[in-house]
Chain A
Amino acid sequence: MSVNRAQRVDLEVVADLIPPQSRVLDVGSGDGLLLELLQETKQVDGRGLELSQRGVNECVARGLSVIQGDADKDLEFYPDKGFDFVVLSQTLQATRNPKLVLDELLRIGNRAIVSFPNFGHWQVRLSLFVKGRMPVTKDLPYSWYDTPNIHFCTIRDFVNLCEELGATVEKATALDGNGQKIGLSMPWWFWNFFGQQAVFLLRR
């Protein structure tokens, strides 16, 4: 496995939101870490959609139910409310049409769980403000010219998009640079400044 689970705290946060035996579609399932975690700990009926053929083949060889596909194109083939949960983890910023993708997630799943890197994090702001350079951080390791991430947003931006799509935020979690959850009582501006990653549980 290329990525150590410990490095993906957001996956644990996502997994905590999903009750046992749920039907789960993981959009952008990568190397299958989340699906494996969910199958082992929650006995879910899990499916994956992944862009990279190599990722898919490795998942299937490990017994996971994954297909090659593109979140921007292939979600339309899934029926309404076909899953209890549709997860989009660390993928929204790499889609061509995040609004449409989020709309599809809300259509396909009774609940949608979205995790993304927060572009409003203070390190990002600092990089732009002080250095005048596109930020390169631990969570955003790419240079501007080779990044797959074409649609960054901040936590505030995302909350606005949810409102626009008529989605209710049932639960939100922000993780700081050490992967620790930021206290629930903090206001949005605080999360938006100190949250490096965010995980949202949505329904419509």
Chain B
Amino acid sequence: MAVLRAAKTNNEVDQPSSPVLRFGPDKPLKLDAGALLSPFQIAYQTYGTLNDARSNAILVCHALTGDQHVASTNPVTGKPGWWQVLIGPGKIIDTNRFFVICSNVLGGCLGSTGPASTNPATGKPYGLDLPVITIRDMVRAQLMLVDHFGIEKLFCVLGGSMGGMQVLEWAASYPERVFSALPIATGARHSSQNIAFHEVGRQAVMADPDWHGGKYFEHGKRPEKGLAVARMAAHITYLSEAALHRKFGRNLQDREALAFGFDADFQIESYLRHQGMTFVDRFDANTYLYLTRAMDYFDLVADHGGRLADAFAGTKTRFCLVSFTSDWLFPTEESRSIVHALNAAGASVSFVEIDTDRGHDAFLLDEPELFAAISGFIGSAARARGLNA
């Protein structure tokens, strides 16, 4: 058992340092896969104070490799929260004004129940024994957390990429619980190309002999090489050709000339290797399989009989969508098709496309136009909700 624990990514899996909400046998979670998950837990962070009317809550949904530590130091990496540029006291999303909630998604590896969590039935990590988790399952679990806080209606649900999928699912499944929705750099369904990239990543993990059919903890191992390759491939999709060229070009790494070998001659190789290596220190390989699968399975169009507008029929939620010109993972057209569906549903919708060469990852960066759009949208929604500045 000691070996097993040491082999885990970190001890944040079962006993996270953040608050955690545990649901016992009386509150099972019915999963899309058909199974009942019980018991299970959701780890979360909150910032700011919930007002008396419980009307100032903002739920932030994290992306594939994100976590609940959105606006405070990450306990695993020691780095600032992944959206700390945006969220905090006096910031665009002002925690002096709003109550911000962010939970680790179901299937995650930082405290919410996921494949790295201990299966109470066996005392060992779930591994592949955990049923496949969907975006809707994640949202159902978040709803239980929101209910726990007694919040009838979230003032805003926002997130990028996989987080944006959760935002769309929230708006489609629980429109009466969402006053405003801000899905960023996302799509109503994962494209074939996106599924293809994810499959490359999963195959890299599973091809690593240390993966052991998903039972690597029991062998005291972790498929670090496979996961690192998966991250390297995925990381390319988060950037753009223009940004890569601007940052790295064909520059050589710590050398004057080509070495005629297979070391990292080029800076871009060195950069990707670094990305892969640091990723495995903070992320669980099976979790990567589960969460990429959840994104692949997401299809709000099919869920609503092939007509996306039906997902939002009669909605009162105010929407703002954001895309980035150089994002080829979730190109602008993906957002535009959601906008068209919302138009058809008669919904209130804003849509901003931001001109940047920083690719998909632009949503995590300090993009003044993104911040201006978020600020304008949240500000007008707050006025409509009667929240004082």
Taking beta carbons and an 8 Å cutoff, which residues of A are in contact with B? Answer: 45, 47, 53, 56-57, 59-69, 74, 77-79, 82
Answer whether A63 and B349 are a contact pair too, CB < 8 Å, given A77-B340, A77-B343, A77-B344: no
* Partner-binding segment picked from B5-13, B37-45, B235-243, B377-385: B377-385
From A63, A67, A77, A82, contact of B377 by CB (8 A): A63
Answer whether A60 and B344 are a contact pair too, CB < 8 Å, given A67-B349, A68-B351: no
Query: Using an 8 Å CB-CB cutoff, how does the interface string of B298-320 with A read, 1 for contact, 0 for none?
Result: 00000000000000000000101
What are 28 A-B residue pairs whose CB atoms fall within 8 Å in the complex? A45-B348, A47-B349, A53-B355, A56-B353, A57-B353, A57-B369, A60-B351, A60-B372, A60-B376, A60-B377, A61-B372, A61-B375, A61-B376, A63-B376, A63-B379, A64-B350, A64-B376, A65-B348, A65-B380, A67-B343, A67-B349, A68-B351, A68-B353, A77-B343, A77-B344, A78-B343, A78-B346, A79-B344
For chain B, residues 353 to 389, give those with C-beta under 8 angstroms from any C-beta of chain A. Answer: 353-355, 369, 372-373, 375-377, 379-380, 383
Say if the beta carbon of B207 comes within 8 Å of chain A: no
For chain B, residues 326 to 360, give those with C-beta under 8 angstroms from any C-beta of chain A. Answer: 339-341, 343-346, 348-355
Number of A-B contacts (CB under 8 A): 68
**Which residues of chain A come closer than 8 Å to B383, judged between CB atoms?**
63
Residue of B nearest to A66 (CB): B350
Residue of A nearest to B345 (CB): A79
A74 vs B351: C-alpha distance when bound (angstroms): 13
A179 vs B355: C-alpha distance when bound (angstroms): 38
- Tell me the interface secondary structure of chain A in the complex: mixed
The size class of the interface chain B forms with chain A is 20 to 34
Q: Please determine whether A61 and B373 come into contact, CB atoms closer than 8 angstroms.
A: yes
Q: Please determine whether B373 and A79 come into contact, CB atoms closer than 8 angstroms.
A: no
From B318, B348, B352, contact of A57 by CB (8 A): B352
Task: Give 8 nearest A-B pairs by CB, closest first.
Answer: A63-B380, A67-B351, A61-B372, A61-B376, A77-B340, A77-B343, A60-B350, A63-B376
Q: Distance in Å from the Cβ of A13 to the closest Cβ of chain B?
A: 26
A78 vs B386: C-alpha distance when bound (angstroms): 29
A47 vs B318: C-alpha distance when bound (angstroms): 11
A64 vs B348: C-alpha distance when bound (angstroms): 10
**Which residues of chain B come closer than 8 Å to A79, judged between CB atoms?**
344-346
